[in-house]
A and B are shown apart, each in its own frame.
Chain A
């Protein structure tokens, strides 16, 4: 990929991802409301919320917390830029982990017991999804011979065909990454759940807005992973990818509305079982066959 198209992609991501992410969150809330027999908020409600957070005063227990939250936002954006400019998948995963570490530190930096428990649970969640994300990257490498996103994008074979197990495993941990029930342990987008607001208890005003916006960026990047499973260098592959992205998000909304929150033990055990059953076996089969 040449430099100019890389710059266009990065700028496109920086501008379009929050817009798409915001719309996605709004549609999510609308569909969830309809599933519960309610009318639901306007589609632009997440945008109104974020603008309101910015309008409000900010109460911060210590200044360093805001710094960590801004680092979280920054690294989530950097992660997306690496991904959409066709960079290295491993680098994407490590940068994303680093971003999440900043979020955890931000929550730990206040002395509030609620946000500290939220931070601990975020760590459990990271432990739960990390193996599967790494296996996903390994799977892509085995199929296309490269960790570079642009090489995978233009490879002639659809990775999905070889990576069905890994794809299902990835969908499973997507529930954790999207912060959906039953695995929305550390924070959730639903009103009034336990532990006050979990991880975000001590965030208000601008820092809460930053968490929300980085969630939009992150969601679009994760859907980019789903998209990658279907690329085979043809237009049909791209269209299939986009359709599957929409279906995957819809599936997550359905799962969100069908389950109550589970204990962290269940999250950890089930996602590791899935990673071993689907991820490791799929990777093992690929190594033998390819």
Chain B
């Protein structure tokens, strides 16, 4: 374990979720689940975040916003799609303005299914994301050495 996985800061963005999944994400911060135990902090600043949590499906309106937040996050970073809406569009999939899951705009690393996804599942997803974060860090170090 390096320091990256000891202090993952998350940024949470609500695509077009019904708020069900958002409430579950926030539930992770309450005393019952207390993700700050693992050093996880819910920050509002993409430039300081390592993990991007997205709830809800992607539509024409928020496509640009999601892309921008993703681009503002410094590497290494992971994207976690929470809830079936963020995975594939879910119940909103057939709406005229919905494009589908988050992976239609940015690469997604972990999919957390459920409607709504339970806090346990979300924490599990973030922990999975941390090992991917670690792999990405190693990969970027190798790339840096190769270029040096």
Contacts and interface: CB of A to CB of B under 8 A. Distances in A.
A191 B29 contact: yes
A275 to B, nearest CB: 33
Interface stretch (A56-64, A96-104, A151-159, A242-250): A56-64
Contacts of A58: 74
A13 B89 CA distance: 56
A203 interface: yes
Contact of A197 (B34, B43, B50): B43
Interface in B16-67: 29, 31, 34, 36-39, 41-45, 47-48, 50
B74 A204 contact: yes
Contact of A52 (B4, B31, B44): B4
Given A196-B45, A204-B48, A37 B3 contact: no
B146 to A, nearest CB: 17
Given A192-B42, A192-B43, A196-B44, A33 B36 contact: yes
Contacts of A56: 4, 50, 74-76
| Among A42, A48, A197, A200: residue with most chain B CB under 10 A | A48
B47 A204 contact: yes
A57 B50 CA distance: 10
A41 B43 contact: no
A7 B47 CA distance: 39
A269 interface: no
B39 A48 contact: yes
B97 interface: no
Contacts of B104: none
B137 interface: yes
Interface in B98-119: none
Given A52-B3, A52-B6, A38 B50 contact: no
Nearest to A61: B47
A95 B65 CA distance: 42
Interface of A: 29, 33, 36-42, 45, 48-49, 51-52, 55-59, 191-193, 196-197, 200-205, 208
26 contacts: A36-B31, A37-B31, A38-B34, A38-B36, A39-B34, A40-B34, A40-B37, A45-B39, A51-B3, A51-B7, A52-B6, A56-B75, A56-B76, A57-B75, A58-B74, A59-B72, A59-B74, A191-B36, A192-B43, A192-B44, A193-B44, A196-B44, A197-B45, A197-B48, A203-B48, A204-B48
